[in-house]
Structure 1
């Protein structure tokens, strides 16, 4: 594979391609593991985990976290509700929105899937991110994400 550094200059299009292709391959691999072992896909797992970690979240909160549209997020929650893993509850401070909660089945599912997810990540990227270069990569990606989020870059408008 060609280096993304050439004469001290970073090949930004090459870096972008690597970043996106890595994300896609990791997402798909985790998707396969979660589907096989728990009957869910990665996006469902991420929604369930967010709801577990943020009780009383709204659809808009999930949409903001995952940088996706509110409509797509609401459809995702509809699917979780249909499976009996999440429920909408009235929002006492804003009747136009609902508060989201995991059901007992949803809580059990996300706890079981958490190990599959963590083990999958460790198997797929654990060795690659060991050491100082891994720590530097983690810091760089976290910093890039923070800047993009702070400046609201890539936030869906609908």
Structure 2
């Protein structure tokens, strides 16, 4: 369902539906490529990327970044650790939490999966929109995300 206009307040529900359905379809398509080619799913890929960018982060940091609960995040980290793609280290400043780090195997997996992910995004987004419209959409969504995060909109309670 395509919405009439971003300026037509009466059809913001259509805009929301399009936004959510696009995200779901892109996520599923990339998930399938990552699963087939690397044996991981999109959520694992995103966690691994975050761990590479933020070595020594905590489960709570991941949960905050992805706006998901700490329990679900911890379970996801457990799965990555079981595969040998990351490790938990004792947090010297807080015995109740662990610091998370990628392993060499996790780094190699991520490097290979990033190529698949980037190629899939390029094909799916630029193939449908072209590079100019993709860049405009990226700017608009980045602005929206910044506002939502600044105002702590949609932050999980637990």
Q: Identify whether the pair has TM-score above 0.5, normalized to the shorter chain.
A: yes
Provide the TM-score with structure 2 as the length reference: 0.94
Q: Which residue of 2 aligns with 1:103?
A: 103
**Cα offset, 1:129, TM superposition:** 4.5
**Cα offset, 1:5, TM superposition:** 1.4
User: What's the C-alpha RMSD, in Å, of the aligned pairs?
Assistant: 1.4
**Cα offset, 1:3, TM superposition:** 3.9
- Which stretches in structure 1 are left out of the alignment for 5+ residues? none
**Cα offset, 1:9, TM superposition:** 1.7
SS in 1 for 2:100: strand
Q: Which residue of 2 aligns with 1:54?
A: 54
Residues 60-89 of structure 1, C-alpha deviations (whole Å, 9 max, x = no match) = 000000000000000000000111111100
Q: Which residue of 2 aligns with 1:68?
A: 68
The CA distance in 2 between the partners of 1:2 and 1:101, in whole Å, is: 42
Q: Which residue of 2 aligns with 1:151?
A: 151
Q: Indicate the structure with greater helix content.
A: 2
Q: Which residue of 1 aligns with 2:92?
A: 92
**Cα offset, 1:135, TM superposition:** 3.0
The CA distance in 2 between the partners of 1:41 and 1:89, in whole Å, is: 24
The CA distance in 1 between the partners of 2:96 and 2:114, in whole Å, is: 32
**Cα offset, 1:140, TM superposition:** 1.4
Q: 1:108 to 1:3 in 2, by over 3 A?
A: same
Q: Which residue of 1 aligns with 2:24?
A: 24
Q: Which residue of 2 aligns with 1:130?
A: 131
Q: CA contact under 8 A between 2:91 and 2:98: conserved in structure 1?
A: yes
Residues 108-127 of structure 1, C-alpha deviations (whole Å, 9 max, x = no match) = 00011000000000011023
Q: CA contact under 8 A between 2:3 and 2:12: conserved in structure 1?
A: no
SS in 2 for 1:88: strand
The CA distance in 2 between the partners of 1:93 and 1:9, in whole Å, is: 51
Tell me the number of residue pairs that the alignment of Structure 1 and Structure 2 aligns.
Answer: 156
**Cα offset, 1:4, TM superposition:** 2.6
